[in-house]
Amino acid sequence: MDPDDFLTNGASASGCRGASQSANPTGKVASFDHQNTGATPRRSSVRKESLFVRRPCFSSILGVRGCCNAPGGAKAAVSAFGWSLVLAAVFFSVGGCHRETGQAESQGRPPAPVLVARAELRDVPVEVRNIGAVEPYRTAEIKARVGGQITKVRFAEGQDVEADQPLFDLDRRPFEAALAQAQANLHRQEAELARDRAALEKADADVLRYRSLRASNTISDEIFQEYVLRQKTLAATVQAGQAAVEAAQAAVLSAQLMLEYAQVRAPFSGRTGDMLVDEGNLVKADDAKALLVITQIEPIYVRFMAAEKYLAEIRARAAEKTLSVRVLPPANRPAVEGKLTFIDNMVDRATGTIALKATFDNHQRELWPGEFVEAVLTLDVLRGAVVVPAEAVQVGQQGTYVFIVDDRQQAQMKPVVVRLNVGNDAVIAEGLAGGETVVVDGHMRLTPGAPVVIKQRNGSSAGASSSAVPAEPAAPAASPAPSPAESDR
């Protein structure tokens, strides 16, 4: 047998032990002596076993039964190798189909339903918002200036009164008597003064006559000096009488004033409150208990606070022009316009706020003292600003962004810079030009390039070609950023 045939059909120590034992039951490796061409095969020692190179067994590599070194093993190995190629082709084709199927599923996934709005261009006021309290323009506690019994009440509770209008009448009789007494004293003092003046005129004439006689030595000097002394005494008496008359006149004026105080009048125009003392009661002058409280509500104040970070801008704007303040009364009543008229001279260290006051005409009585309102101070107006609903702005690792819907009905991520929030809107400083369709609801299912379907507010979806894109309504000026919250700038 040819050695190559033997190697092909013989036993293999590394491959198939069964086939080797069937070809060589003794388990020894046979070899040919090339010197003796006609000799029969003889057994060689174990040392010569290395003369035969062990070839790899395809069946053992492929994991199939049979051996390429056994009888018929080569055919089985070729068959197994062919099957392995087929299996490999099927495996790679299945994998490729799986990847293509995944890409098809990614491209063909259902569109995400979203709510959208238009990015609008409009004028946006820069505002500072806070809760304020309505305060009366003036408040007065009405008290009696003189003591006495209330004889008459001349107003009704809650009535509008004018300045100097009578409110209470006190018993006038004591004050009338005091006035009459003061007037009588004045008359007496005036009469005494007239008597003293007449005496002084006579004394002046005597001094003038006796001076000429003294010059001619008709009378002595002692007599002349007596007339001079009398003249001076009467002159002093006249001066004292004049002072007494003036005092009596002042007493009359005081008595007249006390009589006027017997009727309590309104110090200014306003509205009366609860009557605290009824008719018939005895009151004291400057008693701790007031008779009535009057408040002036035309005009009227609204006091509110602003964060100290706005103080510099408020003062700068107030120096340029009168700032407008709009207040929103409760119960959805119409807004009222006024002017900023007061900035406090100190920041409250406990709250870090500054007190402000706005004045309103209040002719229609839209505001009432004591009620709480929302005060909106307008600092500036941004002309032609890009405005989107605040819920359209999202925050990511790279900053703020919005999703816009392009013409292919696909969502695209757009980085934006928000300047400030005004109510329910966000003013965009960079990133949008106006007119874009931004997503306001449905962000969780969106990725860049994801298909979308626009749905209406009622839950129905709008077609891609629909022109009725649900845009957010313009936020009313009284709806608060930044503001301060607010929104805050």
Query: What's the structural domain count of the chain?
Result: 3
Q: Is residue 184 part of a domain?
A: yes
Would you place residue 90 in the very low, low, confident or very high pLDDT band (cuts 50, 70, 90)? Answer: very low
**146 and 268 both lie in a single domain:** yes
The residue behind tokens 């004291």 is 284
- Provide the β-strand partners of residue 434: none
- Which is it for strands 437-441 and 112-118: parallel, antiparallel or unpaired? antiparallel
The residue behind tokens 């119409």 is 334
Per the model's pLDDT, the better-predicted residue between 452 and 39 turns out to be 452
Q: Domain end: 282, 311, 334, which one?
A: 282
Structural domain including 12 reads 3-81
**193 and 304 both lie in a single domain:** no
**Angstrom distance (rounded) from CA 158 to CA 175:** 30
Give mean pLDDT, residues 117-142: 93
Give mean pLDDT, residues 420-437: 90
Residue 411 has pLDDT above 90, yes or no: yes
Q: Domain end: 361, 380, 399, which one?
A: 380
Residue type, 129: R
pLDDT per position as a tens digit, 310-355: 999 999 999 999 999 999 999 889 999 999 999 999 999 999 999 9
Nearest-5° angle of CA 186, CA 191, CA 194? 125
pLDDT at res. 461: 57
**171 and 273 both lie in a single domain:** yes
Q: Is residue 118 part of a domain?
A: no
pLDDT at res. 10: 41
Q: Is residue 359 part of a domain?
A: yes
Give the least confident one: 38-52, 76-90, 290-304, 421-435: 38-52
Per the model's pLDDT, the better-predicted residue between 294 and 215 turns out to be 294
Per the model's pLDDT, the better-predicted residue between 256 and 219 turns out to be 256
**Angstrom distance (rounded) from CA 157 to CA 169:** 16
pLDDT at res. 212: 84
Would you place residue 206 in the very low, low, confident or very high pLDDT band (cuts 50, 70, 90)? Answer: confident
Is this model's pTM higher than 0.95 or not? no
pLDDT at res. 269: 95
| Mean pLDDT across the chain | 79
Would you place residue 89 in the very low, low, confident or very high pLDDT band (cuts 50, 70, 90)? Answer: low
Query: Is the CB of residue 153 less than 8 Å from the CB of residue 275?
Result: yes
Give mean pLDDT, residues 270-279: 93
Would you place residue 110 in the very low, low, confident or very high pLDDT band (cuts 50, 70, 90)? Answer: confident
